[in-house]
Structure 1
Amino acid sequence: MRSADNVDTSALLLEQVNQALQYATPLRIQGANSKAFLGRSVPGEVLDTRGHRGIVSYDPTELVITARCGTPLMELAQVLDKAGQMLACEPPSFGAATVGGMVASGLSGPRRPWSGSLRDFVLGTRVITGHGKHLRFGGEVMKNVAGYDLSRLMAGSYGALGVITEVSLKVLPKPRQSLSISLELDTARALLRLAEWGRQPLPISAACHDGQRLHLRLEGGEGSVMAAHERLGGERLDASFWTRLNEHQLSFFDEGQPLWRLSLPNNTPELELPGEQLIDWGGAQRWLKSDAEASFIRTVVTEVGGHATCYSHGLVDSPFQPLPEALMRYQRSLKQQLDPRGIFNPGRLYAEL
């Protein structure tokens, strides 16, 4: 199938990029700007991708959909829902996200530890590079050629490597049965149970602890879901909880103290940090609201092998965890190869890029 507004406007984006290259004008790439709070402020002329939208191709039997960068994520989700399919990594929309912004930010939702990250579902992309060329990377099949995967490299690049104009994504059927439950457990016991259950064939697809209760989502065949519920017990939980968690609509995310995202190794115990914490991804992702110094938060998180991202815009100069010099050299080299004049979202990830 193809969408009704299937008009290729990539030539206009390419023209704007080439004009920027001619005059060395920095470009601030954005769709709906729903994730402007993430990363550093970017100077330059706005390159708005929302006009380049539409479903290019979708065959539910192939489990692949191709869409242009300006396509609203909610529109894509609706098309998939009609066919009983979904983006299994549950990327948040934050109200108005576009497909291009979804890939550029690389964010995934509650199902991520069990289904994989957004990067794992990117099969191919079309990208305007800093050489003024419109190139295609990857393809539209699940078995791709061997070699360095530039398509997936775009996931989480925050527009620093080029303008994503089109993306092909692997999709999956929706689970036949889904049930959410809530159990009264303190944080320490909840983390121990999650570690234990992670070694067992339980159909868990989301796990969040709010400080008092452990919330679980069970998905799969009806028999396995009902058997798991009977074994684990707990009260039934409204399934909308996971959407509210993913979209930062829970009361925990109300404005107040600065918000941090902590990415941690599996089975990390409770962290001794001031403030309020919300555990997601079965313990691998934790949200922290704290007035503590950034250096202190990052020291504690780094000591257990994790990293911390500040979700409160303008609070720190480096919202993303600073990289070791060796990794930064690789980042600078990659930026030089794909964006030699440094016009794409300069400084969004790091001041050095």
Structure 2
Amino acid sequence: MDAPLAELIDQVRTAAGAGRPLRIRGGGTKDFHAERLQGEPLATAGLQGIVSYEPSELVVTVRAGTPLAELQAALAEQGQCLPFEPPAFGAGATVGGMVAAGLAGPARASVGSVRDYVLGAQLVNGRGELLVFGGQVMKNVAGYDVSRVLAGSWGTLGLIVEVSLKVLPVAPAEATLKFELSQAEALQRLNAWGGQPLPLNASCWVADAGVGTLYLRLRGAVAAVEAACRTLGGERQDNAAVAPDWAACREQTLPWFAERGERDLWRLSVPQTAPVLDLPDSPLVEWHGGQRWVRATAAEGAAVRAAATAAGGHATLFRTARPDVAARLQPLDAVQARIQRALKREFDPAGVFNPGRLYPDF
């Protein structure tokens, strides 16, 4: 065990013994998304480096404090990538933060989520014990893969020390098509295309000055992408010109996000087949209809949440301009709350890790 890890374990054990909360922090680029931030900082900056990387095996093992950009650069050198396109939301984003947040970019609906690519992890629990889950190959777990629970846990279960991730080759061909469509027309086409053998990768519908536009990204074999372009029609975009726009969509730097002003940003997760929802503002629609971003005032928040629930989904208050209001997930039902509390008790019995980060009472 190296010195940085030993120091962190000592800090955890001391905090657990004193009942003192700890706030796990990587690059801090997602601090805006929290029910509450409190506790003595537990920094992962000393846990850096790519432990092992086997390009031929499509597996990389990385320490949690490693900059996300460093990992992505190493993969790019080998023509590989993290296909779920994790948003960084800042230059300091880390690999551990990427897994803890569990957030994915435009391609998520086609390629899967962060947890789908977590093969294994090392974790320091609330007792200061170093635990190892999963491994470095795809078929290494009998039963439930505990390491995948860490994706989206926001550091409430323990300190991620190291993760093993599945990676994929960069697709040999890519194309983006542009269509002028209303939201209803875009959702209808996306649903129809989803039932066909097309190399769909990402989609984004947004209204600008009253004109709705759907951007559809295709990725895959050259023949498949070219055949899809001929079949689907639309206006083909220059790949180099449109790449920054897809990155801006991932990082929420598109004008649509900047123009929300003092309104809150809500994230709605709904079935892809959900129709146009009754929302206070025109949304930005991703994931072939499955993710919808909505700008709303404080008074409109309840209506946004009700619309998501009625559609069979849920809503998260993702960003807010109000300093006295925190990001907030959909409240848990009784069964979900019982499971969440049981997990918290098992991993972190003293409740020292990021208390209130996900939900106010645990």
| Shorter-normalised TM range | over 0.9
Bigger mean CA offset, 247-256 vs 63-72: 247-256
- Secondary structure of 1:331's aligned partner: helix
Among 188, 191, 202, the alignment partner of 1:192 is: 188
Q: Which amino acid in structure 2 is aligned with residue 183 of structure 1?
A: F
- Secondary structure of 2:97's aligned partner: helix
Partner of 1:99: 95
Q: Which amino acid in structure 2 is aligned with residue 258 of structure 1?
A: D
Partner of 2:162: 166
Is the CA contact 1:206–1:216 (under 8 Å) kept in the aligned structure 2? yes
Among 47, 52, 74, the alignment partner of 1:57 is: 52
Partner of 1:4: none
Partner of 1:330: 339
Aligned CA-pair RMSD: 1.3
Query: Partners in 2 of 1:152 and 1:276 — Cα distance?
Result: 34
Q: Matches of residues 304-315 of structure 1 in structure 2 within 5 Å?
A: 304-313=311-320
Query: Partners in 2 of 1:195 and 1:316 — Cα distance?
Result: 36
Bigger mean CA offset, 179-188 vs 56-65: 179-188
Residue 122 in 1 paired to residue 115 in 2?
no
Query: Partners in 1 of 2:280 and 2:327 — Cα distance?
Result: 21
Query: Partners in 1 of 2:93 and 2:150 — Cα distance?
Result: 17
**Aligned-pair CA distance for 1:315:** 6.3
Partner of 2:80: 85
- Secondary structure of 1:120's aligned partner: helix
Q: Which amino acid in structure 2 is aligned with residue 295 of structure 1?
A: A
Query: Partners in 1 of 2:163 and 2:339 — Cα distance?
Result: 25
**Aligned-pair CA distance for 1:41:** 1.8
Among 245, 253, 268, the alignment partner of 1:241 is: 245
Query: Partners in 2 of 1:251 and 1:318 — Cα distance?
Result: 21
Q: Matches of residues 1-353 of structure 1 in structure 2 within 5 Å?
A: 9-95=4-90, 96-211=92-207, 212-237=212-237, 238-254=242-258, 255-256=260-261, 257-291=263-297, 292-313=299-320, 316=325, 319-353=328-362
Query: Partners in 1 of 2:192 and 2:333 — Cα distance?
Result: 34
Cα gap change, 1:205/1:267 in structure 2, threshold over 3 Å: closer, same or farther? same
Is the CA contact 1:332–1:352 (under 8 Å) kept in the aligned structure 2? no
Bigger mean CA offset, 106-115 vs 226-235: 226-235
**Aligned-pair CA distance for 1:46:** 0.6
1:225-273, CA deviations, whole angstroms, 9 ceiling, x for partnerless residues? 1111122222233122211100001001115111010000121110111
Query: Partners in 1 of 2:327 and 2:60 — Cα distance?
Result: 35
Q: Which amino acid in structure 1 is aligned with residue 45 of structure 2?
A: R
Q: Which runs of 5+ in 1 are unaligned?
A: 1-6
Identity fraction in percent = 50
**Aligned-pair CA distance for 1:298:** 1.1
Bigger mean CA offset, 8-17 vs 243-252: 8-17
Bigger mean CA offset, 231-240 vs 330-339: 231-240
Is the CA contact 1:188–1:269 (under 8 Å) kept in the aligned structure 2? yes
Query: Partners in 1 of 2:326 and 2:73 — Cα distance?
Result: 38
Query: Partners in 2 of 1:275 and 1:47 — Cα distance?
Result: 40
Q: Which amino acid in structure 1 is aligned with residue 219 of structure 2?
A: E
- Secondary structure of 2:316's aligned partner: strand
Query: Partners in 2 of 1:329 and 1:223 — Cα distance?
Result: 50
**Aligned-pair CA distance for 1:138:** 0.6
Query: Partners in 2 of 1:267 and 1:310 — Cα distance?
Result: 22
- Secondary structure of 1:9's aligned partner: helix
Is the CA contact 2:36–2:360 (under 8 Å) kept in the aligned structure 1? no
Query: Partners in 1 of 2:53 and 2:31 — Cα distance?
Result: 30
Cα gap change, 1:103/1:8 in structure 2, threshold over 3 Å: closer, same or farther? farther
Is the CA contact 1:180–1:239 (under 8 Å) kept in the aligned structure 2? no
Is the CA contact 1:89–1:118 (under 8 Å) kept in the aligned structure 2? yes
Query: Partners in 2 of 1:8 and 1:73 — Cα distance?
Result: 23
Q: Which amino acid in structure 1 is aligned with residue 54 of structure 2?
A: D
Q: Which runs of 4+ in 1 moved over 3 A?
A: 313-318
TM-score (norm 2): 0.93
Cα gap change, 1:213/1:122 in structure 2, threshold over 3 Å: closer, same or farther? same
Is the CA contact 1:207–1:215 (under 8 Å) kept in the aligned structure 2? yes
Query: Partners in 1 of 2:88 and 2:325 — Cα distance?
Result: 24
Partner of 1:3: none
Query: Partners in 2 of 1:101 and 1:209 — Cα distance?
Result: 28
Cα gap change, 1:94/1:317 in structure 2, threshold over 3 Å: closer, same or farther? closer
Bigger mean CA offset, 15-24 vs 74-83: 15-24
**Aligned-pair CA distance for 1:8:** 6.6
- Secondary structure of 2:343's aligned partner: helix
Is the CA contact 2:33–2:327 (under 8 Å) kept in the aligned structure 1? no
Count of residues in correspondence between the two structures: 347
Bigger mean CA offset, 77-86 vs 41-50: 41-50
Query: Partners in 1 of 2:342 and 2:227 — Cα distance?
Result: 52
Query: Partners in 1 of 2:225 and 2:245 — Cα distance?
Result: 18
Cα gap change, 1:80/1:66 in structure 2, threshold over 3 Å: closer, same or farther? same
Q: Which runs of 5+ in 2 are unaligned?
A: none
Is the CA contact 2:46–2:65 (under 8 Å) kept in the aligned structure 1? yes
